[in-house]
Amino acid sequence: MKLKSVIILLKCISFGSLAIFATQLSTGCQQPIENIGSKKHAEESLLNTKEIFFDLQNIDISMEKSEDGKLRIEENIDRNQATYQNRQQGDSIFVVSKGVQSHTTNPGSIKAYIPDGYNIYLDGMSGSVRIFGLSTKIIRIELMSGDIRIKNLATRSGIFKTMSGNIYFNSHITTGTIKLEAMSGDLEAILDHNSDAKIEMKSEKSAAILNGRNLENGKISTIINNGQAHISGNTLSGTVDCQF
């Protein structure tokens, strides 16, 4: 599959870890839910009719490709600890769930089977996010804290943020721009040998590691093959590790 430019942005500022395993990336993500109201999002909505918005608090979510082409959302939520609402408006789906986190576990989880072509927006206070095999034009995910793990994602523009935690990126990259940013946490990028990318990564307060070798001043800058894609990462506190 030939994909156009890729933009993926990840930010970490306060708890949790963020892991990304993506193959042939090309699109991104922003805040979810019905009253996002930003002009940029409104413009995106006009161009893309199929959208799904998640507004989650202390809820874990798994998103996978729908093999039968139908959108399905399954929830396993303790209604004594969390609210849950799922409604459709035109071609847009809005999923809202707010819960109280215990010391050991979240009050529930959601599993979404999403067909190709949906734009995905997720805003979460806390909880893990797992994405596998999705194909989307735009995907935007923002967490206050929690783990994000992405594998086999095909997208043109992607933004992934967590207020605090680590970023782990594993991908085959041949085009576009990928940005990893963390206020606090480690960045680790693993690229396939056939990737075609320019890599620029830095840690403001800790080490930068390229193929197991520590670099001076916490910075990485290198080119794989012809450097057609661009991957950049920045963390204020943490370690940058790049392998290929």
Tens digits of residue pLDDT in 5-35 = 444 444 444 344 444 444 333 333 333 334 4
pLDDT at position 105, please? Answer: 67
Q: Give every CB contact of residue 144 below 8 A, 6+ residues apart in sequence.
A: 14, 15, 124, 125, 126, 162, 163
pLDDT confidence of residue 102: 63
Q: What's the pLDDT band for 42 if we cut at 50, 70, 90?
A: very low
pLDDT per position as a tens digit, 141-177: 887 887 778 777 777 777 777 777 777 777 666 666 7
CA distance 23 to 150: 9
Contacts of 138-142 with C-beta under 8 Å, sequence gap 24+, read 138/27, 138/28, 138/29, 138/30, 138/44, 138/48, 139/27, 139/28, 139/29, 140/28, 140/29, 140/30, 140/31, 140/32, 141/29, 142/29, 142/30, 142/31
Task: Give the per-residue pLDDT at 179.
Answer: 73
In this prediction, what percent of the chain has a pLDDT beyond 70?
75
At 64-123, the pLDDT tens digits run: 999 999 999 999 998 888 999 999 988 899 999 988 766 566 788 999 999 999 999 999
**Which of 99-103, 230-234, 235-239 is least confident?**
99-103
Q: How far apart are CA 54 and CA 111, in angstroms?
A: 12
Q: Against a cut of 0.85, is the pTM above it? A: no
E-strand stretches of 107-228: 108-114, 119-124, 129-132, 138-143, 148-151, 157-162, 167-172, 177-182, 187-191, 197-203, 208-210, 213-215, 219-224
pLDDT for 85: 93
Higher per-residue confidence, 61 vs 26? 61
Name which of 203, 189, 191, 186 is nearest 227 in CA terms.
191
Three-class DSSP category at 198: strand
